[in-house]
Amino acid sequence: MAISGRFVLLALLGLVPVLLLPRWDTALTVLLVLALLLTLEVGLAASLRGIDVQRTESGNVTLHGTATSTITVRNNGRRRLRATMRDAWQPSAGAQNPVQDVEVPAGESRRVTVRLHPVRRGDLRAPHVTLRSYGPLRLAARQRTLACPGSLRVLPPFHSRRHLPSKLRKLRELDGKAAVQIRGAGTEFDSLRDYVRGDDVRSIDWRATARRSAVVVRTWRPERDRRVVIILDTSRTSAARIDDEPRLDTGMEAALLLAVLAERGGDRVDFLAFDRRPRARAGSATTGNLLGQLVKAMAPLEAELIELDWSAIPGQVRAISAHRSLVVLLTSLEGGAPEEGLIPTAAQLAQQHVVVVASVRDPMLGLMLRERSNASSVFRAAAAERALLEREAVSTQLRHQGAEVVDAEPHQLPPQLADMYIRLKAAGRL
């Protein structure tokens, strides 16, 4: 039983004459009247044992989007239900109106809609709802918590989608689908055309030249149906927040843009989230929309507070592709001991594959490096300089081992990684 604020106020007002009355029997009578009023109010409130609640699944929504959760309240009792309902969504679901009044006549049902504005990616849940049934005067109420499980999957927002049209335009230029034709790029035969000054003589097709009595050259295009393997680091280093966003989420943005671009370019894409074991998989080999598969696979991912098992990465790549592929490692350059994990693994992979290491750089390092107005800022600038030099040293070692490195700030990492993919295509390395 719950007592409302109205009854508490009424009881306080009733105590005034009780304290002023000289006779205790009269005071006792007033208290009995208040108790009787409370009992009557609770008795007139609709029983919650005959109430059923059902929830309609909210489905999926992108981060910072808007969703709704609809609850149907069915009154199987004999009295009209006058109640306040509270939907128990976790705070990160951003419920706008979790507490609402509902009135349901006997034998009928009503729908209650809760608006959600999630502020965190992942699976969000509401295990139950709480109903508080009031009497006619709303002085007292019955309260009961009913199981009504609901869930909402919040997908990555894919803000880097805005870069996709310009990157696709560049990719079509390589494939010969646009007006611009890049000579000599790629290793897959495209067509024959007449020789012009400046063409590579090694591209001359002598048989076609003999048939036409004119010099004919072959044109090439980047090979299609290549394998692109994207490995996202979900170990402890991915939990760091850079520019008010977890490193893991920035890696997802870069992986999404690269995966969609590579698929549109005719390549086969495989995605793996890994730390000590696989956390999520997706690929264009399976049926369905690749982008839809990727965002669903990425949505529940969280950073695991464990070290990445670098020794297992080559085996995971072999299990995905036994042929020469583009292997993209979305990880950190400064985490742990790169000379014992990242660098040897990249060197091993580079013996068979084209390896790209992509890492997000904290923009605060650049700000600290430029600010030297006092002694404290000078020390911070020195620390930033050292951190940047260490990152550059790791990048240099990776390049010496045959890997490419993309080290950029959060909003620049996705487009720069896409540009690296396009450059590798243009150079015929894929």
Most confident of 61-65, 180-184, 261-265, 357-361: 357-361
Measured CA to CA, the distance from residue 84 to residue 145 in angstroms comes to 12
Lowest-pLDDT range of 194-203, 241-250, 338-347: 194-203
Lowest-pLDDT range of 144-148, 150-154, 192-196: 192-196
Average pLDDT over residues 404-429: 93
Measured CA to CA, the distance from residue 286 to residue 246 in angstroms comes to 29
| pLDDT, tens digit (0-9, with 9 covering 90-100), for 46-88 | 889 989 999 998 889 999 899 999 999 999 988 899 999 999 9
**Are 235 and 330 in contact, with CB atoms under 8 Å apart?**
no
Instruction: Tell me which of 1 and 251 has the higher pLDDT.
Output: 251
Answer yes or no: is pLDDT of 41 > 50: yes
φ/ψ region of 375 (left if φ > 0, alpha if ψ in -120 to 50, else beta) reads: alpha
Q: Which residues pair with 146 in a beta bridge?
A: 129
Measured CA to CA, the distance from residue 117 to residue 234 in angstroms comes to 26
Angle of helix 342-350 relative to helix 313-320, nearest 10 degrees, comes to 30
Answer yes or no: is pLDDT of 3 > 70: no
Residue 395 structure tokens: 């990048």
